[in-house]
Amino acid sequence: MLNLLIIEDQPAVREVVAEIAGELSEEVRVAQVGSLEEARAVLVSEEWNGLITDMSLGDGNALELIASLKEEGVKMPPTILMSGFLTSARMAQALQLGIEHVLAKPFAPDVLLDCLEKMLSRDDEHTPAADKPKRQKRTSDRLLPEMFEMDRRLGLVYRMFDEIPAQHDVSSVCASALNLAVEVVHAKGGYLAFFERRHHKLVMVSSQGMGEVAPSCTLDETSFQPLVAGDEELIQSFPDAPGICWPGVEEPHHVAIPVRLQGVSMGVLCLLDPASSEPLKSETRQMLGLLVKELDTLLDNRAVHAALADNMRETLIALVRSLEARDRYTRDHSGRVGSLSAVLAEDMGLDQDRVDLIRTGGLLHDIGKCGIPDAVLLKPDRYTENEFAIMKAHPAIGDNILKNMDTMIRERLMLRHHHERFDGLGYPDQLAGEDIPLEARIVCVADAIDAMTTHRVYRMARPLSFCVEQLKAGSGTQFDPEVVKVALAAIERGAVSTQADEQQNIEGVMPLSALISVKTEVRNYG
């Protein structure tokens, strides 16, 4: 008797696969489980001659289970792996695990039977392959492909409501939605473009399989005016009745649907060369409609979210500026720190998203000072030890101000940690080295440079030459050496703007040319 185990979380698919496997021989006993947890238990406790498993189940990935069991020393039977979403990485993993039979869904029942015969040939010596009866036409010949297609659609719906909402920005949402739409119709590629009404053109925000094309085109250069106008819900072009999907793209067979925001057409989703040359079936149209509706909701939510985040950010920046306006010596300090932080971030090769983030962090880094008593904050002299202890609370206060703003999680790290030292002797958490977020290490250096070059009631501004000495002296102790290296290069090429540069001719502010030399000393500036 040959023991065969089937692992599949869709009961209907599991039953049909079991029926097909049962046709192989009366000497085959077929067992079924619907989860990896159940599979682990039976694979450990019993010996099996063969295993048929879906790759992705509700409680995990079958390849991970097989790898885990092999590491534990469990003898794994010859395996057939089924999957509707095979990637090259997963295929390589399957081969590495010794899985010789990988079936991409959908597949015909006879393909499964052929694999079973090959897989079990070493154990099934009762009947030579040539003597086995011819297979008769069976219900499963029709049912299995239909069930695979249903399974595929369920998987796409699951990803629609799980994978796309997990994306955090508009471009990622659009790319994920396009990827799913391509899979819905088995297209070779496609694009998602927004309609810019002012210039009457389509601007591509995501594309796949199109090669080098223009990033935008006028709406009149395509066949999609009826979609944007709201006159059509779908345009499908065929070789015998071609339309223009994008300038320079020769693809006579394509499908396009409108993308809407709050019911108003705002763009086009176009899919190139779908697998079927027939008009789209109603269920496929429903799937695309569901996808576009979900995209509408997500884009609307992110637009509102982004607007709220921008308003919140502007409100906080206004608060910082109002705080600084009370002290002529620190006026515009945060603006300069934000600008210099962005310069250093760019010079360190960070992407534009992080550069903008660091600019905002620099602008807001001192917002916690709104919680410091005026008697300390506006004191026209050096702080006493007790007063400095009070002032040292401002990073934690700033962090506390932003703690309930889920759109500013990364900015919080800069507010809290811009007074940490590279050697771990800073505050408030005594973080050291790379445990301090890079963004905070950048703001720390920018803050120190501006503090040194800003006039105070108890001292004159230091020249940039003094900053160079201090940065070199504090490299590796107070400051991150890599950030210092970039800051020194920025100073050398004249990219660092100081308070004196901005206010050279304002009455009451002393020009740098009038400054006397000062003795070099390593200090905590801020």
Type of residue at 356: D
Quote helix, strand, coil % in the chain, to nearest 5.
50, 15, 35
What's the rounded mean pLDDT across residues 371-393?
88
Looking at every residue in the chain, the average pLDDT score rounds to 81
Confidence of residue 128 (pLDDT cuts 50, 70, 90): very low
Q: Which residues is 6 bridged to in the sheet?
A: 32, 52
Q: What is the pLDDT of residue 312?
A: 67
**Top-level CATH class of 325-514?**
mainly alpha
Q: Each residue of 259-290: pLDDT tens digit? A: 887 777 888 999 998 888 888 888 788 888 88
Counting Cβ atoms within 10 Å, is residue 263 exposed (0-12), middle (13-18) or buried (19+)?
exposed
Asked whether the CA dihedral 192, 195, 199, 205 is positive or negative, the reply is: negative
Q: Give CATH for domain 163-298.
A: 3.30.450.40
Q: How far separated are the first and last CA of the chain, in Å rounded? A: 80
* CB 450, CB 505: distance < 8 Å: no
Highest mean pLDDT among 144-153, 203-212, 233-242, 307-316: 203-212
Whether the pLDDT of residue 144 is over 70: the answer is no
Cα separation, 170 vs 149, in Å, equals 30
CA distance 268 to 216: 12
Highest mean pLDDT among 82-96, 166-180, 205-219: 205-219
What pLDDT shows up at residue 405?
Answer: 72
Spatial separation of the C-alpha atoms in residues 405 and 411, rounded to whole Å:
10
Quote the pLDDT of residue 296: 78
Q: Which of 23-32, 299-308, 363-372, 490-499 has the lowest mean pLDDT?
A: 299-308
pLDDT for 429-439, tens place per residue? 999 999 999 99
| CB-CB contact of 73 with 140 (8 Å) | no
Chain center to CA of 1:
50
Predicted pLDDT of residue 488? 96
- Going by the DSSP 8-state scheme, the letter that residue 246 receives in this structure is S
Percent of the chain with pLDDT over 70: 80
pTM of the model: 0.46
Identify the DSSP state of 434. Answer: G
CA pseudo-torsion sign 244, 250, 254, 256: negative
DSSP lists the bridge partners of residue 465 as none
**What's the angle, vertex CA 27, arms to CA 26 and CA 33, rounded to 5?**
95
More confident residue, 72 or 514: 72
pLDDT for the residue numbered 14: 82
Query: Residue 498 — very low, low, confident or very high, per pLDDT cuts 50/70/90?
Result: confident
Give every CB contact of residue 385 below 8 A, 6+ residues apart in sequence.
Answer: none
The topology under which CATH files domain 2-154 is Rossmann fold (3.40.50)
Domain ranges of the chain: 2-154, 163-298, 325-514
- The Cα-based distances of 459 to 215, 456, 510, 518 in angstroms read 55, 5, 11, 10
What integer pLDDT is reported at residue 517 of this predicted model?
32
